[in-house]
Structure 1
Amino acid sequence: MAASIESLLEEISDVEDPIEELQCLKTALLSIPLSALRDFVSGHRFEVIFSLLNSNEREQVELCVDILERILMACSPLQVVQNYRAALQAGLTHPNDTVKILALTQVGRMAEHPDAAVEVLNSRNILGSVIHSIAEENMMVAKQAIQSLSKLSGTKTGLEKLFRSDLLNDLKDVMTTGDIIRYRVYELVVGIASECPLSLGYCANSGILSQLLTELTGDDVLIRATAIEMVTTVAHSQHGRKYLGREGVMYKISNMIKEADTDPFSSLYLPGLVKFFGNLAFMDGPQLVCEDYPVFQNKVFEMAMDTDPAMVGVALDTLGLLGSTVEGKQVLQKTGEKFKSVLLRMSQLTSSGATELRARCLEAISQLLTLQPEQQTEDLLALTESWFRLFSKHPIDMIRDISTQPFPELHCGALRVFTAVAAQAWGQRLMVSTPGFMEFILDRSTGQRKEAKDAKFELVSSLLSSSSAAEILGSQNYIALKSYQREGPYYVSAVAAVGMEGAQ
C-alpha cells in the first residue's frame, strides 16, 4: 500500500487536473490504519499536496484538506511544526475556511505538545495569524482560533507571549473590528482568566478585563446583557470572585438591580443580573449573599410573581438553585410570608402555566424539597413537609395528575418531585395513605420513553434508600418495590411481552 501511495504522489505532481488521483490517494490513506501510516509519513514529504491548496477549484482544495487531515494526524505535532511551518502559516491566511480550520486545528494539537508549543510560541507570524482569525466571519474558524489560543495560554510562557508582548496590540486591534468580535476576545480572555490566579493576573494586567467590566454599565443594553454573562463566567472560580470583589463588581450589579425598576429596557439584562447573584449564592453561600445584597432576594421573589414568562423562568431556576442547599432552604424559610406567597404562585404555575414554565417549576420544587439522609433533622423535615403541603390540599394527587399528562418533561418533572419526597418519612406516609399511589409507582405501563423509565426507577430507588421505608410502606409494598428495583428500569414482563406481540 505504501508503494501505491508513493506512485499516486508522483502522478499527482505530473498531471494538470489531479482530481481523480487525489480521490484515489484519499481512499488509499483512509484504508491504512493510523499506526501503520505513521511510519510512512515520517519518511516522506507532502509539499505537493500543500501546493495544490493554491487553487480556485473547490473540489480540489477540499480533497487536499481531507488528505492532509489524515497525513498530519499521523505526524506528531512537533513533526508538523518543524516540517510544515511555512505551509501552516499559509493555511492560516488561506481564502478557503476549511483550510484555515485545518491549520488552526494543527496549532491546537501543537499547543498540547510541550516542545511543539515552544516552536509555535516562538513564531510571531503564526500567533498573529491565529489572533486575527478570531475576527473571521465563519464562526467555526473563530472558535477554533479561540480554542488554540486558550491552549497556548496554559503555560507562563504562553501567557507572557499573549499578554506581555506586542501580540497584545494585535488582540486589542482585533477587538476594534466590532461588537461581536470584541466579545469573542472577551470570551477568550475570560476563559483564560478562569484557569488559575496566575492566568487571571495576566488577563487583568492586560486591561481587557477592566474594559469588560466597564461594559456592564454601558448605554447599549444588549452589550450590557452580554457583559453580565461574561462576568458571571469569571465568578465561577474562587479567584475570579475575589477579583470581582476587589473591583466592586458585586455592589455595581446590586445597584443595577435597584435601578432596573426605572429602566424600561431592564428586561433585557435583569435576568442576567439575577443569574449572577444566584450563581454567587450557590458558590459562596446563600446566607452571606442574601444578607449582603438583600435587593437580590427581593427581586427574585418579585420576578416569581411577574407576568413575563422570561422573568418567571429565571426566578424559578434561581429559587431552585438557592433551595438546593440546606443553608438556602433556611434563608428562604426566614422570609416567612414572602416565600409562602412564592410557593403558592409556584403551585398555580405548576397546575396551569405554559408547559415550559411548568417543567421549570417542577424542577425547582424538586430541588427545594430534596434532603440528603444526613440532612434529615426534625426541623428540616418539618420545613420540607410544610412547603409540600402548601401546594394543594392533596399535593400527592396534584403532582400525580401532572405526571399523567402527555408531555415527557412534565411526566419526568413530576416523578423527580416524588423522588425528592420519597426519601423522607413524611413523604412515604403521604404516599402510602393516598389511594392507588403505590400501584401507580409499580405500574410499568406508564411512561414508555427511556427518560420516563429512568425517572420512575429513580423514584423506586429513592423510596428503598430510606431506612424508614420498610416500616411505613408495609412489607407487601416494600417487597414489590424490591422486585421492581431488582428487575431494573426497562423490565418487561413475559405476559406483557406476549400481549404486545399479539397486538402487532
Structure 2
Amino acid sequence: MSASIETLLEEISGVEDPIEELQCLKTALLSIPVSALRDFISGHRFDVIFSLLNSNDREQVELCVDILERILMACSPVHVAQNYRARLQAGLTHPNNTVKILALTQVGRMVEHPDAVTEILNNHDILQTVIHSIAEENMTVAKQAIQSLSKLSHSKPGLDKLFKSDLLKALKDVMATSDIIRYRIYELVVGISSMSPISLGYCANSGLLSQLLEELTGDDVLIRATSIEMVTTVAHTQHGRQYLAQQGIMDKISNMIKGAETDPLSSLYLPGLVKFFGNLAIMDSPQQVCESYPVFQNKVFEMAMDADPVMVGVALDTLGLLGSTVEGKQVLQKTGDRFNAVLVRISQLASAGATELRVRSLEAVSQLLTLQPEQQTEDLLALSESWFRLLSKQPVDMIRNISTQPFPELHCGALRVFTAIGTQPWGQRLMIGSPGFMEFILDRSTGQSKEAKDAKFELVGSLLSSSTAAEILGTQNYISLKAYLKEGPYYVSAVAAVGTEGAD
C-alpha cells in the first residue's frame, strides 16, 4: 500500500487537474491504520499536498485538507513542529476556513506536547496569528483558536508567553475589534483563570479580569447580561470565588438585584444575577448565601410569582437547585408560609402552565422532594411529605394525570416526581393507597419512547431500593416489581406479541 501512495504522490505532482488522484490518495490513506501510516510518513514529505492548498478550487482544497488531516494526525506533534511549522503558519491565514481549522488543530496538538511546545513558544508570529484568529467571522475558527491558546496556558512557559510578552498587547488589540470579539477574549481568560490559582493570578495581573468585572455595572444592559454569565463561570472554582469575594463582587451583585426594582430594563440581566447566587449557594452553602444576601432569596420567591415566563423559569430552576441539597431544603422550610405559597404556585404551573414551564416545575418538584436513604431522618421525611401534600388535595392523582398527557417530556417529568418519593415510606403508602397505581407502574404499554421506558425503569428501581418497599407495597407487588426490574426497561411480552400477530 505504501508503494501505491508513493505512486499517487508522484502522479499528483505531475498533473494539472489532480482531483481524481487526490481522491484516490485520500481513499488509500483512510484504508491504512494510523499506526501503520506512521513509519511510512516519517520518511516522506508531503509538500506537494500543501502546495495544492493554494487554489481557488474548493473541492481540491478540501480533499487536500482531508489528506493532510490524516497524515498529520499520524505524525507526532514534535515531527509536525519540526517539519511543517511554516506550512501550518501559512495555513492560519488561508482564505478557506477548513484550512485554518486544520492549522489551528495542529497548533493545539503541538502546544500540548512538552517538547513540541518549545517550537511554538519560539515562534512569536504563529501565536500572534492564532490570537488574531479569535476575531475571525467563522465561529468554529475562533473557537479552535481559543482552545489552542487555552492549551498553551497549561504550562508556566505558556502563561508567561501569553501574559508577560507583547502577546498581551495583541490580545488587547484584538479585544478592541468589537463587543463580540471582546467577549471571546473574556471567554479565553475566564477559561484560563479556572485552571488553577496560579493561572488566575496571571489573568488578574493582566488587567483583563478586572476589566470584565467593570462590565457588570456598564451602561449597556446586554453587555451586563453577558458579563454576569462570564463572572458566574469564574465562581465555579473555589479560587475563583475567593478572588470575586476579594473584589467585592458578591456585594456588588446583591446591590444590582436591589437596584433592578427601579430599572425598566432589568429583565434583561436580572435572571443572570439570580443564577449567579443560585450557583454560589450550591457550591458554597445555601444557608450562608441566603443569610448573607437575603435579597437573593426574596427575589427568587418574587420571580416565582411573576407573570413573565422567563422570570418564572429562572425561579423554578433556582428553587430546584437550592432544594436539591438538605441544607437548601431547610433554608426554604424556614421561610414558612412564603415558600408554601411558592409551592402552590409551582403546582399550578405544573398542572396548567405552558409546556416548558410545566416541565421545569416538575423538575423542581422532583429535586425538592428527593432524599437519599442516608438523609431520610424523621424531620426531613415529614418535611418532604408536607411539601408533596401542598401540591394538591390528591397529589398522587394530580401527578399521574400529568403523566398520561401526550407530551413525552411531561410524562417523564411526572415519573421523576414519583421516583423522588418512591424511596420514602410515606410516598410508598400514598402510592399503594391510590387505586390502580401499581398497575400503572407495571403497565409497559404507557410511554413508548426510550426516555419514557428509562424513566419508568428508574421509578421501579427507586421503589425496590427502599428497605420498606416489600412491607408497604405487599409481597405480590414487590415480586412483580422485581420481575420488571429483571426483565429490563425495553422488555416486550411474548404473549402480547403473539396476540398482536393474531389480531393482524
Q: Tell me the TM-score normalised to structure 2 length.
A: 0.99
What is the SS of the residue equivalent to 1:84? helix
Instruction: Please give the residue correspondences for 1:81-480 in structure 2 after superposition, counting only pairs within 5 Å.
Output: 81-480=81-480
Query: What is the alpha-carbon distance in structure 1 between the residues aligned to residue 60 and residue 487 of structure 2?
Result: 57
Query: What is the alpha-carbon distance in structure 1 between the residues aligned to residue 59 and residue 478 of structure 2?
Result: 66
Offset from partner CA, 1:182-234 (integer Å, 9 cap, x none): 00000011011011101101011111000000000111111110000000000
Query: What is the alpha-carbon distance in structure 2 between the residues aligned to residue 503 and residue 238 of structure 1?
Result: 64
User: Could you tell me which amino acid in structure 2 is paired with residue 250 of structure 1?
Assistant: M
Query: What is the alpha-carbon distance in structure 1 between the residues aligned to residue 429 and residue 489 of structure 2?
Result: 24
Query: What is the alpha-carbon distance in structure 2 between the residues aligned to residue 59 and residue 452 of structure 1?
Result: 45
User: Could you tell me which amino acid in structure 1 is paired with residue 282 of structure 2?
Assistant: F
Query: What is the alpha-carbon distance in structure 2 between the residues aligned to residue 499 and residue 120 of structure 1?
Result: 69
- The 1:169/1:430 distance shift into structure 2, 3 A limit, reads same
- The 1:18/1:469 distance shift into structure 2, 3 A limit, reads same
What is the SS of the residue equivalent to 1:88? helix
Query: What is the alpha-carbon distance in structure 2 between the residues aligned to residue 181 and residue 500 of structure 1?
Result: 61
User: Could you tell me which amino acid in structure 1 is paired with residue 63 of structure 2?
Assistant: L
What is the SS of the residue equivalent to 2:481? helix
Query: What is the alpha-carbon distance in structure 2 between the residues aligned to residue 147 and residue 422 of structure 1?
Result: 44
Q: CA deviation at 1:74?
A: 1.2
Q: Which moved more, 1:477-486 or 1:142-151?
A: 477-486
Query: What is the alpha-carbon distance in structure 2 between the residues aligned to residue 55 and residue 475 of structure 1?
Result: 76
Offset from partner CA, 1:93-135 (integer Å, 9 cap, x none): 1111111000001011112211111211221011111111000
Query: What is the alpha-carbon distance in structure 2 between the residues aligned to residue 280 and residue 220 of structure 1?
Result: 25
Query: What is the alpha-carbon distance in structure 2 between the residues aligned to residue 374 and residue 14 of structure 1?
Result: 74
- The 1:54/1:318 distance shift into structure 2, 3 A limit, reads same
Offset from partner CA, 1:276-309 (integer Å, 9 cap, x none): 0000000101000000000000000000000000
Q: CA deviation at 1:29?
A: 1.5
Match of residue 14 from structure 1: 14
User: Could you tell me which amino acid in structure 2 is paired with residue 58 of structure 1?
Assistant: R
User: Could you tell me which amino acid in structure 2 is paired with residue 144 of structure 1?
Assistant: Q
Query: What is the alpha-carbon distance in structure 2 between the residues aligned to residue 473 and residue 112 of structure 1?
Result: 57
Offset from partner CA, 1:447-496 (integer Å, 9 cap, x none): 11111111111111111111111111111111111111111111111111
What is the SS of the residue equivalent to 1:114? coil
In percent, how many aligned pairs have the same letter? 83
User: Could you tell me which amino acid in structure 2 is paired with residue 171 of structure 1?
Assistant: L
Q: Which runs of 4+ in 1 moved over 4 A?
A: none
Match of residue 59 from structure 1: 59
Query: What is the alpha-carbon distance in structure 2 between the residues aligned to residue 90 and residue 500 of structure 1?
Result: 65
User: Could you tell me which amino acid in structure 2 is paired with residue 52 of structure 1?
Assistant: L
- The 1:502/1:136 distance shift into structure 2, 3 A limit, reads farther
Query: What is the alpha-carbon distance in structure 1 between the residues aligned to residue 86 and residue 252 of structure 2?
Result: 49
User: Could you tell me which amino acid in structure 2 is paired with residue 491 of structure 1?
Assistant: Y
- Whether 1:45 aligns to 2:50 is no
For structure 1, list consecutive stretches of 5 or more residues without a partner in the other structure. Answer: none
Query: What is the alpha-carbon distance in structure 1 between the residues aligned to residue 119 and residue 61 of structure 2?
Result: 27
User: Could you tell me which amino acid in structure 1 is paired with residue 293 of structure 2?
Assistant: Y
Q: CA deviation at 1:446?
A: 0.7
Q: CA deviation at 1:503?
A: 4.8
Query: What is the alpha-carbon distance in structure 1 between the residues aligned to residue 16 and residue 461 of structure 2?
Result: 69
Q: What's the C-alpha RMSD, in Å, of the aligned pairs? A: 0.9
Q: Which moved more, 1:3-12 or 1:272-281?
A: 3-12
Offset from partner CA, 1:39-62 (integer Å, 9 cap, x none): 111000111111111122222211
**Count of matched residue positions in the alignment of Structure 1 and Structure 2:** 504
User: Could you tell me which amino acid in structure 2 is paired with residue 119 of structure 1?
Assistant: E
Query: What is the alpha-carbon distance in structure 2 between the residues aligned to residue 50 and residue 229 of structure 1?
Result: 41
Query: What is the alpha-carbon distance in structure 2 between the residues aligned to residue 500 and residue 205 of structure 1?
Result: 72
- Whether 1:484 aligns to 2:475 is no
What is the SS of the residue equivalent to 1:195? coil
User: Could you tell me which amino acid in structure 2 is paired with residue 215 of structure 1?
Assistant: E
Q: CA deviation at 1:14?
A: 2.0
Q: CA deviation at 1:443?
A: 0.9
Q: Tell me the TM-score normalised to structure 1 length.
A: 0.99
User: Could you tell me which amino acid in structure 2 is paired with residue 297 of structure 1?
Assistant: Q
Query: What is the alpha-carbon distance in structure 1 between the residues aligned to residue 226 and residue 126 of structure 2?
Result: 30
- The 1:163/1:501 distance shift into structure 2, 3 A limit, reads farther
What is the SS of the residue equivalent to 2:115? helix
